[in-house]
Structure 1
């Protein structure tokens, strides 16, 4: 049997959770998610951008997020992030605001706006606590009074599941362990806890044995790796440029105070020739 594809790859994730055939899988996953924020279970969802064969891994027009709407009109966006793109909190608020504001047509009342929920599933740590599932709302700092229920943001960090043992009860953690790549020897227990997981697992196994799906997966995986490498390179370059600028400012200030060049070299990290060039 071929090795299993990684369900954290957004192309694979959407095939499992964002297709019309697997809408029941998505519904259970969402209900386990919203149970942890105290919401009543959903009975029906509509996929706004279901997976189709036109979703090409390298096509910039393809959207591998999952967009859904509940019977009450609540909008849900689920995004899988295999690599850290940085500024995820700003990126989240930016795209949340676009989804929220796009609901209104010209002349419509603000009362028409429905709640928007963003669910970020991260393959890295971001929130500075030990919780693998953090939920954010818009509340007053001192009293906890909610200003509006229209914004809800979830961060699920798979990296924080390392110390978690396989649970003995149902719930969201079973789904996250599956996504993280739980050993197949634990699948039976996860299925017992969450029966609908079997359909997700069957879909993953089918995709892993399908030659065309594997080709598309590998193309997407390469694209994600290349994108992550470029972001990391740009970030490191930006930091290096920032450090150089700071060192030059320190040296310039020390020169203005008449401090000896040898001392400035040690303090700033610049070379003697760089400091002398500033002096001249």
Structure 2
């Protein structure tokens, strides 16, 4: 008998949701997500960074988020976060802005910019509300009119699912309960509610029986735990000083700023100042 791998591990999550053969799973998940935001369903999705064998925990350059584009050009980024890296709101805006601004090549008009959607699935809580799925847009405070529809941020907090009853119909909650995977006894009900979840469950079971996939999973799980411990240690031991030490070491090794921001917790501006001295 084998233990199921944790689908919240970003390596496993991308294997299930971010591969070409499972694109229908991703599409079904996205459509349930957008339905809750009052948006029309998608008919097709294009994976911009599909999973390949090069996406290995052994390669520090591997990206385990999922980047996709709709046929209309809307960009979607989905990231699974197992541990709290702190400053999540600023980190989310930073990566959203990178995705948005990177669309334009030199000399292109701003009209070429397309909507960017960020979906962060968190195994912890950051928002002071009871909702497990929160959706953010740019709107005017008093009238609620949209400034522009180009920004959309979804925060899904799996830690807030504890009091949710098992649904008796389709919807996003079924997908999030699968991802939380604390109780597999409800899987048959979830699968009846959301047929595409059956394929996701089969993919997870297959991966869990694959010796090489399990080895890579354990490697990634260790890296995630080490990263979480390093970040927690940085906060407990005079957090800023420790973060600066981490950033200096990473700069000396030629790491890029995005990776240093993620591992050290420092801002881009703080890292740029370290580079200048």
TM-score, reference length from structure 2: 0.85
Is residue 58–residue 223 contact of structure 1 (8 Å, CA) maintained in 2? no
Where in structure 1 do 4 or more consecutive aligned residues deviate above 2 Å?
Answer: 238-241
Q: What is aligned with 1:265?
A: none
Residue 172 (1) aligns with residue 172 (2): yes
Cα deviation for residue 240 of structure 1 reads 9.9
Q: What is aligned with 1:112?
A: 112
> Counterparts in 2 of 1:195-214, with a 5 A limit?
195-214=195-214
Q: What is aligned with 2:267?
A: none
Q: Deviations over 1:180-236 (max 9, x none)?
A: 014221110000000000000000000000000000000000000000000001011
Q: Distance in 1 between matches of 2:141 and 2:8?
A: 35
> Counterparts in 2 of 1:65-80, with a 5 A limit?
65-80=65-80
Q: Deviations over 1:221-280 (max 9, x none)?
A: 000000000000101123698xxxxxxxxxxxxxxxxxxxxxxxxxxxxxxxxxxxxxxx
Give the secondary-structure state (helix, strand or coil) at the position aligned to 2:153: strand
Residue 139 (1) aligns with residue 139 (2): yes
Residue 83 (1) aligns with residue 83 (2): yes
Q: Deviations over 1:13-54 (max 9, x none)?
A: 000000000000000000000001111000000000000001
User: Any stretches of 5+ residues in structure 2 without a counterpart?
Assistant: 242-277
Q: Distance in 1 between matches of 2:63 and 2:230?
A: 20
Larger Rg: 1
Number of aligned positions between the proteins: 241
Cα deviation for residue 56 of structure 1 reads 1.1
Q: Distance in 2 between matches of 1:9 and 1:221?
A: 7
> Counterparts in 2 of 1:32-111, with a 5 A limit?
32-111=32-111
Superposition CA RMSD, Å = 1.1
Is residue 20–residue 47 contact of structure 2 (8 Å, CA) maintained in 1? yes
User: Any stretches of 5+ residues in structure 1 without a counterpart?
Assistant: 242-280
